[in-house]
């Protein structure tokens, strides 16, 4: 059965093309800085937005009527699997990502839910074998069902905590079976609404205990995926514990989990935290914690997680500049955790949206590579910090300085001379390079 019968394989036609169903910049086999675009970007489709999402918002029901929607939830789940693999093939994306509850519906007991998941996992496995498509990561949805009202790993109810453990156990087993390259934890309801009813210390200790159990179980079953935590500052709770990259790294270090985890960073989560995406990537990278990216963008005028497809070339350039400087995305990838707008309800919009996102990242990659090759920014930075390579600066870096030696130096070094940071010139250089791609 074909779900996108009217659409053929999307191919690269280059800059001059005016075919909306073609790539203008994403040319998978094109080599950039010694590696193909496909290998740099490792694109993934987010199952939940593309095949499970319907276009609901807080004021209205779904607008998208998908050809894979049937009356029986298991029929729909099976049809979604077929739609997923047809879509991956046609758009030319090598990876996908899913939550357990995106792919298979909950039953009335955990046993029944697990059985549903097994049926769908069989289908996913078969389709992966025949198509060569791969699982970038899977995760457990422990935020939608009402049982998670007080959280999962940070719930006030030990029975719910036990259910979370059971669900994670199954989810890790599914990840192993499907060869997931990473495994994501996003703490959908791991946060609080009011401190008046919250034991923050116990909640955080319990969350860490659950992560340790996951590490132990993955070891036990030989699941070697990279574990990733996905920070987000707010939404759904007022204050999410994994607020941003720095907070999450501090949590991992406090509980001795840092060896086992990296971060899955998301653009719109960064902006909700009052950061840019490139800031979050830099924080992760300098701590050896850059794991994977959820690619999307927010809206300047809307204060929630709009999960729009990324089209801002300045942002994709800065993102890829950080990724390239960090030495690449490793086992991670660029997952489109993005949804078409509610008014873009036609099936064709799913293709148009991914093409826009993939071309924007390809453009960003090419511009970032040019920035690196030109050394326009790195040369400036190197020169800006040159005072730390000689004299007193070299002593500071070598750990040889003391307050007394700094005083002795400062006393005879009068006046101090500073130099311009040249921010506007550097931004103009970035613009020139973006325009030239
Ligand atoms: C929510 C979000 C999630 C995670 C996976 O904002 O980004 O979809 O990516 O649970
Ligand atoms: Co995400």
Query: Is the confidence at residue 16, as pLDDT, over 90?
Result: yes
Cα 228 from Cα 249, distance rounded (Å): 11
Rounded to 5 degrees, what angle do the CA atoms 36, 38, 43 make? 155
- Percent of the chain at pLDDT > 90 equals 99
Is residue 88 very low, low, confident or very high in pLDDT (cuts 50, 70, 90)? very high
CA of 296 to the centre of ligand 2 (A): 9
pLDDT band at 139 (very low <50, low <70, confident <90, very high): very high
**Cβ burial, residue 196 (10 Å; 0-12/13-18/19+):** exposed
Q: What is the pLDDT of residue 416?
A: 97
- Judge if the beta carbon of residue 294 lies within 6 A of ligand 1: yes
Q: Is the pLDDT of residue 1 over 90?
A: no
Distance 151 CA to ligand 2 centre (A): 18
Give distance in angstroms: CA of 186 to centre of ligand 1: 6
Whether residue 99 lies in the annotated active site:
yes
The verdict on the CB of residue 305 being under 6 Å from ligand 1 is yes
Q: In this predicted structure, what is the pLDDT of residue 178?
A: 98
Establish whether residue 102 lines the binding site of ligand 1, counting it when its CB lies within 6 angstroms of any ligand atom: no
- Measured from the alpha carbon of residue 189, the closest ligand is 1
**DSSP states of 165-210 as a string?**
HHHHHHHHHHHHHTT-SEEEE--TT-EES-GGG--HHHHHHHHHHH
Index of the ligand 1 atom closest to the CA of residue 305: 6
**Is the beta carbon of 139 within 6 A of some atom in ligand 1?**
yes
Pocket lining: 100 vs ligand 1, CB cutoff 6 Å = no
For residue 141, which ligand has an atom nearest its CA?
A: 1
266 C-beta closer than 6 A to ligand 1 = yes
- Identify the CA nearest to 55 among candidates 352, 348, 351, 342: 342
Band (235; pLDDT cuts 50, 70, 90): very high
Angle subtended by helix axes 347-374 and 313-325, to nearest 10: 50
Measured between its terminal Cα atoms, the distance across the chain in Å is 40
Neighbours of ion ligand 2 (CB under 5 A): 266, 294, 337
| Whether the CB of 184 sits within 6 Å of ligand 1 | yes
Q: Model confidence over 349-404: pLDDT tens digits?
A: 999 999 999 999 999 999 999 999 999 999 999 999 999 999 999 999 999 999 99
CA-angle at 423, arms to 419 and 426, nearest 5°: 110
Q: Which pTM does this prediction carry?
A: 0.98
User: Could you read off the pLDDT of 174-193 as tens digits, one per residue?
Assistant: 999 999 999 999 999 999 99
Shortest-distance ligand to the CA of residue 305:
1
Helix axes 200-221, 245-254, angle to 10 degrees: 80
In the chain, the percentage of residues whose pLDDT exceeds 70 is 100
Tell me the residue ranges of DSSP E strands in 37-89.
Answer: 43-46
Using the mean position of ligand 2's atoms as its centre, give its distance from the Cα of residue 389 in Å: 41
**C-alpha pair distances (Å), 110 with each of 115, 152, 164, 357, 410:** 8, 15, 11, 37, 69
Helix (H) or strand (E) segment spanning residue 124: helix 110-131
Q: How far apart are CA 217 and CA 172, in angstroms?
A: 8
Across residues 195-206, what is the average pLDDT?
98
Nearest-atom number in ligand 1 for the CA of 143 is: 10
Q: Which atom of ligand 1 is nearest to the CA of 235?
A: 6
> Minimum-distance ligand to the CA of 97?
1
Query: pLDDT tens-digit profile of 264-291?
Result: 999 999 999 999 999 999 999 999 999 9
Residue 343 pLDDT class (50, 70, 90 cuts) = very high
Catalytic hit among 99, 269, 279, 354:
99
Q: Given this model, what pLDDT does residue 309 score?
A: 98
Q: Does position 36 have pLDDT exceeding 90, yes or no?
A: yes
Q: Is 138 in the pocket of ligand 1 (CB under 6 A)?
A: no
pLDDT over threshold 90, residue 206: yes
75 carries an active-site annotation:
no
């Amino acid at each position: 059965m074909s779900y996108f019968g009217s659409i053929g394989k999307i191919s690269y036609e280059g800059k001059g093309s005016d075919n909306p169903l073609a790539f203008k910049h994403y040319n998978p086999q094109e080599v950039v800085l010694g590696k193909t675009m496909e290998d740099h970007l490792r694109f993934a489709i987010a199952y939940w937005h593309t095949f499970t999402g319907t276009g609901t918002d807080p004021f209205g029901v779904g607008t998208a009527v998908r050809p894979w929607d049937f009356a029986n939830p298991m029929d729909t789940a099976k049809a979604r699997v077929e739609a997923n693999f047809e879509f991956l093939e046609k758009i030319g994306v090598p990876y996908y990502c899913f939550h357990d509850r995106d792919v298979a519906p909950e039953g009335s007991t955990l046993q029944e839910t697990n059985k549903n998941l097994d049926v769908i996992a069989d289908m996913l496995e078969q389709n992966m074998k025949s198509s060569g498509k791969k699982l970038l990561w899977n995760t457990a949805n422990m935020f939608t069902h009402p049982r998670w009202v007080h959280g999962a790993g940070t719930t006030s109810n030990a029975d719910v905590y036990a259910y979370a453990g059971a669900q994670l156990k199954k989810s890790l087993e599914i990840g192993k079976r499907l060869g997931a390259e990473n495994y994501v934890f996003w703490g959908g309801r791991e946060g609080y609404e009011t401190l008046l009813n919250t034991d923050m210390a116990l909640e955080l200790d319990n969350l860490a205990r659950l992560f340790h159990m996951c590490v132990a179980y993955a070891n036990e079953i030989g699941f070697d995926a990279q574990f990733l935590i996905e920070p987000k500052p707010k939404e759904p709770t007022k204050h999410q514990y994994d607020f941003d990259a720095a907070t999450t790294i501090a949590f991992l270090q406090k509980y001795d989990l840092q060896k086992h985890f990296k971060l899955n960073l998301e653009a719109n989560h960064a902006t909700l935290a009052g950061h840019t995406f490139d800031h979050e990537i830099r924080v992760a990278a300098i701590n050896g914690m850059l794991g994977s990216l959820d690619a999307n963008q927010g809206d300047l005028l809307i204060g929630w997680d709009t999960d729009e497809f990324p089209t801002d070339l300045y942002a994709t350039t800065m993102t890829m500049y950080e990724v390239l400087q960090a030495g690449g995305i490793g086992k991670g990838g660029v997952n489109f955790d993005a949804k078409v707008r509610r008014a873009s309800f036609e099936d064709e919009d799913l293709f148009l949206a991914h093409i826009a996102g993939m071309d924007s990242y390809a453009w960003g990659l090419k511009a970032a590579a040019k920035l690196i090759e030109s050394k326009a920014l790195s040369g400036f930075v190197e020169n800006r910090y040159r005072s730390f390579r000689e004299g007193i600066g070299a002593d500071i870096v070598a750990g040889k300085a003391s307050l007394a030696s700094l005083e002795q130096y400062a006393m005879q070094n009068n006046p101090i001379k500073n130099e311009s940071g040249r921010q506007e010139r550097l931004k103009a250089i970035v613009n020139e390079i973006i325009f030239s791609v």
